[in-house]
Structure 1
């Protein structure tokens, strides 16, 4: 793999779904997310447009940690990620979907089953399998 290819692998395009983000919020975003991710290497936020950033990771392991730890939020807004594509203008970057958890409260106990959870999830989008399905660990929600 060429060195330039390696650099491309360490990048994300990112969008914060927040109205009217100013410089103070952008600074807080950088600081908060860097701390939340507890990265081993350095991270650079490059502003690429309105509420849009290029994230440049020093280490590929850090990029993977952030990608597989998603979804992320900041200031009660989704922080969407997508893999960076070379030779594509930041105006053309798209963020077509984001995986996230949904908590449903007030479900009657007789519906605490994998089948019911998948049926509910299908109403919201495409359900994503999880490592374990253990209703005994649930409380008031699935």
Structure 2
């Protein structure tokens, strides 16, 4: 067996006494910079049982979202990406225009709070539009749409303009 080099021996001696019980460091937050950065970004997780490449996500997002050169995508974990925008309005448009699908997978988009690490972001909830077909005219009410939507989760918005228009629509929409 060979002897460790002098550099390795020095490294071993420097780290031998370290433990998790040592004093913690007093780290300072740069909240202003972090807020500015997170205001221009979204974290997205693809709900799919296989890994999707950065190139695939980049190609689909650039085409679907129409950002020629104005979108930076950084992989964070398997099927989890940071989408960086140049303008707050672009970020807002993409976030509010969902839900999004890529390569047959649901893309859950979340704002990244500056005080959270990636593992603390909750990807278990995602708003989506629900279309309700086949209700007879006398059952096309906001209350009934809310009841149906509530079966799946929290209803955020019921989309219709007036009772008269509601009677002639082919379907009703509820976002939850």
TM-score range, shorter chain: 0.7 to 0.9
Q: Given that residues 17 and 78 in structure 1 are in contact (C-alpha distance below 8 angstroms), is that contact kept between their aligned partners in structure 2? A: yes
* Structure index of larger Rg: 2
Q: Given that residues 43 and 111 in structure 2 are in contact (C-alpha distance below 8 angstroms), is that contact kept between their aligned partners in structure 1? A: yes
Q: CA deviation at 1:29?
A: 2.3
SS in 1 for 2:156: coil
Q: Report which structure shows greater RCO (CA 8 Å, sep ≥6).
A: 1
Partner Cα separation in structure 2 for residue 47 and residue 10 of structure 1 = 16
Q: CA deviation at 1:100?
A: 0.7
The residue number in structure 1 matching 2:23 is: none
SS in 2 for 1:95: coil
The residue number in structure 1 matching 2:14 is: none
Q: Spell out the pairing of 1:79-90 with structure 2 (5 A cutoff).
A: 79-86=107-114, 88-90=116-118
Give aligned pairs, total: 139
Partner Cα separation in structure 1 for residue 40 and residue 55 of structure 2 = 22
Q: Given that residues 44 and 55 in structure 1 are in contact (C-alpha distance below 8 angstroms), is that contact kept between their aligned partners in structure 2? A: yes
Q: CA deviation at 1:2?
A: 4.6
* Aligned-residue CA RMSD (Å): 2.4
Cα distance 1:58–1:137, how it changes in 2: closer, same or farther (>3 A)? farther
